[in-house]
């Protein structure tokens, strides 16, 4: 992680929307990234806000008989309240109706107009009221809006245009020579694909006769600005562009987090606008995927929104924040169901993390009168088991920090959770309940101290996701409240920072187990093969004749359960040059798989790949490490390649 200032933005949300999971996801994502960067000491600035001009706000206000400004003032509160509840630590909240923003938009427009970057021309084309966009005849899809499918209106009027077309070649070159600019890779390719067609000049005005709720063009009072030309400018108007050069230079260029549906406006319009204005390009435009309900995008217009307020109230704000980031691989779509939520909550938070704390705290209570025992001298020396446990936790610190830089938080989080599971395994292996019966109390001291200390590191790493819960956990470990809440970044890379003798207090249930909702919405994992007779109708009939040698029946084939799985972690196994230990996410559970692919893949290159796993293979131990399944791979001679999935598909999908 570098220590250059980190400036992160979310899209500014349409003010008349109700906050929904799409808004909540980007905002929590930005918050967690900002908190991780702050945690590791990087100067960080985090901006969010609302997009308040345009047709929809004007119409909604008219229906309610209030002014658009009154309507915006009344509705913006929903976002501000939602972000407060979700523990969002934005440094600023910009509204496009604020003077500080409007003045900058007007200055930019005037400047571009004066320099001939904006010109006036007669326009004849098709207009979609819903999207507030113009289309040419050939853009239309069956005579309708190509974006939303609604009716379009024929419009003939004078308008102002931004000379975007002249930046096409420059933009293609910039994107090609700056791989970090548009991410993930496939979104960069999508933008380059869009730029294969000739880029049109952009109509940036709307006559007031049609739309009055916008920022007036400074050079023609009969027009207001196109809403995107207004909205995108928020990213610079909020940090002192044209007002405070030092402040602007400190934070710019930004990392823009956006949803994939607003890629073109951010990766084409915005760079051209900045280029024309002589401003440096954003550092990165990262487009994330959608939360889906089944196969449909969850959004207000579809009426299938999981309201973050409901989810927060039902399961708690912080588990919700954890879920959003642990579940979605950044850039890809993910399914949201209550069932998936509850499974992950129970597995990661109630079982692995919550149990780990309550075991440590209750054993310190029972065997050490509630005082954290001291480790043996040399307990953290090279090769000692406690040292290895701590090395695991501190490696997770580096992994989380790197995952923030690589925009791959779910894999960083998975490594932290692996480190938590390692603490549980350490306890099982060392059996403190047996050690407590021995005459020498020293080994017990090492076991409980090391477990608590590793938990100190892991909880510090999970702080950006669950600040209050992790503070409570750390206080339970005997840390003083100030140190518990303000994580010392150095301590994340060093063992033995807890004070022996500190009072350890069993916490209340930090993550009480949730009863799973009744029927599972997801396909059931590892269902036993159906008994032959009733199911026989639906399947090809079992052949009466004995099968030729080497040929198997459908029933035989159906015994093998194959599923997609995402590789979350990958690491070498000591002393086994060909093997890698993989942590894979199967959609509803995590598995550990040992695969003989170390000579063909580097661990880092595997993370994030969606592979095919034989799910119902009996577990085996390879070099002492349990393998709970097998990956499919193709090989010929020296070459081996994993079977992967072509395109977006969530983990746990049945392969057949
Ligand atoms: N006002 C514009 C952005 C202007 S930025 C200069 C806008 N606003 S919005 O309120 O519609 O923002 C929606 C954001 O939420 C988009 O980034 C969109 O991708 C995201 N999501 C909406 N539904 C979503 C899901 N179901 N899942 C994830 N995010 C999705 O666009």
Distance 357 CA to ligand 1 centre (A): 38
Question: Which pLDDT band holds residue 531 (cuts at 50, 70, 90)?
Answer: very low
CA atoms of 599 and 11, how far apart (whole Å): 43
Ranking 52-66, 178-192, 227-241, 550-564 by mean pLDDT, the lowest is 550-564
- Is 8 part of a structural domain of the chain? no
- Whether 150 shows a pLDDT value over 70: the answer reads yes
Query: Average pLDDT of 105-125?
Result: 96
pLDDT in tens, 217-265: 999 999 999 999 999 999 999 999 999 999 999 999 999 999 999 999 9
Burial class (CB in 10 A: 0-12, 13-18, 19+), 87: middle
Q: How many CB atoms lie within 10 A of CB 59?
A: 16
Question: Does the structure show a pLDDT above 80 at 579?
Answer: yes
The H-or-E segment that residue 140 falls in is none
- Contact yes or no for 292/298 (Cβ under 8 A): yes
Residue in 490, 489, 453, 491 with CA at minimum distance from that of residue 474: 453
CA distance 555 to 552: 8
pLDDT on residue 410 = 97
Do 364 and 473 have their domain in common?
Answer: yes
User: Residue whose CA is closest, atom 9 of ligand 1?
Assistant: 13
Let me know if residue 485 belongs to a domain: yes
Residue 160 domain flag: no
Q: Which of 126-135, 149-158, 505-514 has the lowest mean pLDDT?
A: 126-135
| pLDDT tens, position by position, 32-46 | 999 999 999 999 999
Q: Which of 461, 475, 456, 651 lies closest to 565, judged by CA?
A: 651
**Residue where a domain stops, chosen among 470, 493, 516:** 493
Give the gyration radius of the chain's Cα atoms: 28
Say yes or no: 388 and 476 in one domain. Answer: yes
388-398 pLDDT per residue, tens:
999 999 999 99
Helix (H) or strand (E) holding 592: strand 590-595
Reported as a single tens digit per residue, the pLDDT across 4-35 is 899 999 999 999 988 988 999 999 999 999 99
Closest-CA residue, ligand 1 atom 6, reads 232
pLDDT at 270: 98
CB 493 within 8 A of CB 397: yes
Rounded distance from Cα 372 to ligand 1 centre (Å)? 48
Tell me the residue range of the domain where 429 lies.
337-493
Mean pLDDT of 207-211: 92
Q: Residue 194 domain-assigned?
A: no
Q: Which residues in 78-187 belong to E strands, given as ranges?
A: 92-95, 118-128, 133-135, 153-162, 182-183
Report which DSSP code applies to 144.
Answer: B
Q: Look up residue 482 and give its two tokens.
A: 């100030």
For residue 232, which atom of ligand 1 is closest to its CA? Answer: 6
191 in Cβ contact with 285 (< 8 Å): no
Judgement on whether residues 345 and 476 belong to the same structural domain of the protein: yes
Rounded to an integer, what distance in angstroms lies between the CA atom of residue 572 and that of residue 582?
9
Q: What is the pLDDT of residues 45-55, one digit of tens each?
A: 999 999 999 99
Residue 254, C-beta contacts closer than 8 angstroms, at least 6 positions apart? 7, 8, 9, 47, 235, 282, 283
Task: State how far Cα 443 lies from the chain centre.
Answer: 41
* Contact between residue 567 and residue 611 where contact means Cβ atoms under 8 Å apart: yes
pLDDT value at residue 443:
97
Residues 444, 358, single domain; the answer is yes
Q: Bigger pLDDT: 340 or 589?
A: 340
Shared domain check, 577 and 488: no
Pair (569, 487) in one structural domain: no
pTM listed for this prediction: 0.79
Across the chain, what does the average pLDDT equal? 89
At 542 the pLDDT is: 39
Number of domains in the chain: 2
Query: What is the position in ligand 1's atom list of the atom closest to the CA of 260?
Result: 19
For the cut 60, the answer to whether the pLDDT of residue 556 exceeds it is: yes
User: What is the Cα–Cα distance from 200 to 211, expressed in whole angstroms?
Assistant: 23
Distance CA 275, CA 371 (A): 62
Task: Specify which of 331-335, 408-412, 538-542 reaches the highest per-range mean pLDDT.
Answer: 408-412
- Report the residue among 259, 286, 291 best suited for mutation to probe ligand 1: largest number of ligand atoms under 8 A from its CB: 259
Same structural domain, 568 and 465: no
Distance CA 253, CA 8 (A): 9
Q: How much distance in Å is there from the Cα of 259 to the middle of ligand 1?
A: 6
Task: Give 45's strand partners.
Answer: 7
Kindly provide the b/e burial profile for residues 12-41, where b requires at least 16 CB atoms within 10 angstroms of the residue's own CB: bbbbbbebbbbbbbbbbbbbbbbbbbbbbe
Peptide bond into 253 cis (omega under 30): yes
CA of 325 to the centre of ligand 1 (A): 17
Place of tokens 């606008």: 273
Separation of 270 CA from ligand 1 center, angstroms? Answer: 16
Which residue did the predictor score with more confidence, 214 or 296? 214
Identify the band that residue 585 occupies on the pLDDT scale cut at 50, 70 and 90: confident
Q: 467-476 vs 442-462: helix axis angle to the nearest 10? A: 160
- What CA–CA distance (Å, rounded) separates 612 from 597? 14
User: In CATH, what number is assigned to the domain containing residue 455?
Assistant: 1.10.730.10
- What is the arithmetic mean of pLDDT over 342-368? 96
- Stated as kind and residue range, the H or E segment containing 622 is strand 620-622
Let me know if 425 is exposed, middle or buried by CB neighbors in 10 A (0-12, 13-18, 19+): exposed
Does 569 lie in the same domain as 459? no
485 and 566 both lie in a single domain: no
Instruction: Count Cα atoms within 13 angstroms, Cβ side, for 364.
Output: 32
Q: Which two tokens stand for residue 537?
A: 């109708």
Structural domain includes residue 565: yes
Whether residue 9 contacts residue 45, with contact meaning beta carbons closer than 8 Å, is answered with: no
With a CB cutoff of 8 Å and minimum separation 6, the contacts of 501 are 371, 372, 374
Q: Which atom of ligand 1 is nearest to the CA of 231?
A: 6
Percent of the chain with pLDDT over 90: 68
Give the CA dihedral 580, 581, 585, 588, nearest 10 degrees. 140
The residue contributing the CA closest to ligand 1 atom 30 is: 22
How many angstroms separate the alpha carbon of residue 10 from the centre of ligand 1? 9
pLDDT tens profile 432-449 = 999 999 999 999 999 999
* Whether 401 and 485 share a structural domain: yes
Pocket of ligand 1 (CB under 6 A): 11-14, 17, 21-23, 25-26, 51, 231-232, 258-259, 261-262, 290-291, 297-299
Q: Number of helices (H) and strands (E), helices first, in the chain?
A: 24, 27
- Residue 484's pLDDT band, with cuts at 50, 70 and 90, is very high
Question: Cα(653) to centroid of ligand 1, in Å?
Answer: 27
Whole-angstrom distance, CA of residue 611 vs CA of residue 633: 9
Token pair belonging to 329:
């691989």
Does any domain span residue 341? yes
Least confident of 418-432, 509-523, 560-574: 509-523
Across 91-100, 413-422, 532-541, least confident range:
532-541
Q: Is residue 442 part of a domain?
A: yes
Note whether residue 499 is domain-resident: no
Residue 529 is classified by DSSP as: P
Query: Residue 545: its pLDDT value, please?
Result: 55
CATH number, domain at 618?
2.40.50.140
Picking from 445, 471, 493, the residue at the C-terminal end of a domain is 493
Last-in-domain residue among 439, 460, 493: 493
First CA to last CA distance, the chain: 42
Least confident of 75-84, 455-464, 595-604: 595-604
| Residue 74 CA, ligand 1 centroid: distance in Å | 20
Taking the C-alpha atoms of residue 584 and residue 610, their distance in angstroms, rounded to an integer, is: 9
What pLDDT, on a 0 to 100 scale, did the predictor assign at position 373? 98
Residues 489, 349, single domain; the answer is yes
Q: Do 482 and 572 have their domain in common?
A: no
How many Cβ atoms from other residues are within 10 Å of residue 147's Cβ? Answer: 14
- Using alpha carbons, list the distances in angstroms from residue 132 to 137, 147, 196: 16, 11, 24
DSSP state of 141: B
For the stretch 599-656, pLDDT in tens is 888 888 888 889 999 987 877 878 878 888 899 998 877 788 999 888 777 777 778 7
The candidate with the shortest Cα–Cα distance to 623, out of 585, 596, 591, 590, is: 596
Q: Alpha helix locations (H) across 115-202? A: 168-177, 185-194
Write the residue with the smallest CA distance to atom 2 of ligand 1.
13
Is pLDDT larger for residue 531 or for residue 305? 305
Q: Phi and psi (nearest 5°) for 507?
A: -80, 160
The DSSP call for residue 354 is I
User: 626 or 378: which carries more pLDDT confidence?
Assistant: 378
| Run of H or E including 304 | none
């Amino acid at each position: 992680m570098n220590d250059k200032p980190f400036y992160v933005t979310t899209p500014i949300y349409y003010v008349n929307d109700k906050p929904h999971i799409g808004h909540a996801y980007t905002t929590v994502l930005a918050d967690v990234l900002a908190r991780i960067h702050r945690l590791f000491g990087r100067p960080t600035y985090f901006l969010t806000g609302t997009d308040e001009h345009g047709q929809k706000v004007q119409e909604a206000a008219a229906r309610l008989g209030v002014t658009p400004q009154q309507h915006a003032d009344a509705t913006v509160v929903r976002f501000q309240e939602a972000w407060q509840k979700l523990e969002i630590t934005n440094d600023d909240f910009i509204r496009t109706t604020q003077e500080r923003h409007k003045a900058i938009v007007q200055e930019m427009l005037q400047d571009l107009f004066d320099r001939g970057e904006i010109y006036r021309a007669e326009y004849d084309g098709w207009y979609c009221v819903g999207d507030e966009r113009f289309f040419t005849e050939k853009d239309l899809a069956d005579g309708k809006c190509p974006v939303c499918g609604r009716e379009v209106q024929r419009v003939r009027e004078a308008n102002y245009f931004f000379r975007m077309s002249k930046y096409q070649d420059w933009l293609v070159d910039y994107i090609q020579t700056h791989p970090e600019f548009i991410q993930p890779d496939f979104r960069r390719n999508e933008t380059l694909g869009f730029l294969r067609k000739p880029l049109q000049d952009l109509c940036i005005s709307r006559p007031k006769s049609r739309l009055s709720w916008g920022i007036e063009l400074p050079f023609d009072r009969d027009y207001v600005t196109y809403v995107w030309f207004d909205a995108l400018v928020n990213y610079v108007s909020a940090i002192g562009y044209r007002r405070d050069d030092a402040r602007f230079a400190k934070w710019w260029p930004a990392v823009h987090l956006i949803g994939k549906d607003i890629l073109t406006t951010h990766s084409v319009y915005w760079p051209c606008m900045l280029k024309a204005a002589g401003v440096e390009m954003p550092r990165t435009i990262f487009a994330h995927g959608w939360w889906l309900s089944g196969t449909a995008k969850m959004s207000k217009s579809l009426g299938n929104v999981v309201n973050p307020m409901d989810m927060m109230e039902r399961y708690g704000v912080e588990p919700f924040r954890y879920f959003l980031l642990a579940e979605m691989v950044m850039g890809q779509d993910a399914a949201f169901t209550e069932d998936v939520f509850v499974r992950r909550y129970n597995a990661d938070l109630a079982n692995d993390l919550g149990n780990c704390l309550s075991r440590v705290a209750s054993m310190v209570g029972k065997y050490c009168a509630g005082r954290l025992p001291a480790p043996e001298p040399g307990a953290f020396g090279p090769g000692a088991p406690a040292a290895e446990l701590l090395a695991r936790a501190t490696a997770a610190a580096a992994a989380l920090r790197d995952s923030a830089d690589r925009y791959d938080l779910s894999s960083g989080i998975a490594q932290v959770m692996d480190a938590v599971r390692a603490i549980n395994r350490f306890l099982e292996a060392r059996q403190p309940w047996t050690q407590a019966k021995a005459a020498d109390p020293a080994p017990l001291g090492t076991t409980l101290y090391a477990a608590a200390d590793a938990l100190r590191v892991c909880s510090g790493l999970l702080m950006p996701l669950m600040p209050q819960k992790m503070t409570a956990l750390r206080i339970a470990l005997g840390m003083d409240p100030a140190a518990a809440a303000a994580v010392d970044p150095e301590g994340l890379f060093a063992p033995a920072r807890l004070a022996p003798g500190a009072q350890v207090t069993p916490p209340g249930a930090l993550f009480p187990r949730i009863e799973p909702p009744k029927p599972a919405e997801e396909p059931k994992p590892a269902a036993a093969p159906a008994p032959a007779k009733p199911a026989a109708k639906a399947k090809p009939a079992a052949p009466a004749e004995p099968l030729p040698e080497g040929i198997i029946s459908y029933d035989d084939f159906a015994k093998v359960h194959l599923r997609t799985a995402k590789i979350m972690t990958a690491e070498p196994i000591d002393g086994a040059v060909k093997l890698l230990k993989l942590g894979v996410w199967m959609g509803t559970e995590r598995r550990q798989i040992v695969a003989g692919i170390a000579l063909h893949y580097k661990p880092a290159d595997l993370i994030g790949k969606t592979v095919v796993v034989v799910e119902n293979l009996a577990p085996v131990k390879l070099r002492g490490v349990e393998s709970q399944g097998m990956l499919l791979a193709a090989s010929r001679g020296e070459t081996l390649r994993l079977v992967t999935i072509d395109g977006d598909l969530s983990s746990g999908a049945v392969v057949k």
